[in-house]
A = this chain, B = another copy of it.
Amino acid sequence: MPQSERTKPRKLPQQERSKETVEAILIATTHILVESGHESTNTNKIAERAGVSIGSLYQYFPSKEAIIAALIERHADSMTCMIEAKLLDKQEAPLEVALRELVKVCISAHTVNPKLHQVLIKQVPRVGQLEKLNDVEKRVQALIRSYLETQRNQIQPQNLDLAAFMLAHSLESLIHAAAAEPSLAVNEEFEQELTAILLCYLTCGL
Oligomeric state, in copies? 4
Inter-subunit contact A125/B127 (CB<8 Å): no
**A93 at interface (Cβ–Cβ under 8 A)?**
no
Contacts of A200 in B (CB 8 A): 197, 200-201, 204, 206
Inter-subunit contact A169/B159 (CB<8 Å): no
Restricting to A18-74, which residues have a CB under 8 Å from any CB of B?
37-39
A157 to B157, CA, bound (A): 23
**A5 at interface (Cβ–Cβ under 8 A)?**
no
Contacts of A189 in B (CB 8 A): 159, 162
Which residue from chain B places its CB closest to the CB of A196 in the assembled complex?
B206
Inter-subunit contact A162/B193 (CB<8 Å): yes
Restricting to A126-148, which residues have a CB under 8 Å from any CB of B?
126-127, 134, 137
Q: Measured between C-beta atoms, what is the minimum distance from A58 to chain B in Å?
A: 12
**A123 at interface (Cβ–Cβ under 8 A)?**
yes
Contacts A122-B125, A166-B174, A203-B206 supplied; 9 other A-B pairs, CB < 8 Å: A39-B127, A96-B206, A163-B193, A165-B174, A166-B193, A166-B194, A173-B173, A201-B201, A204-B204
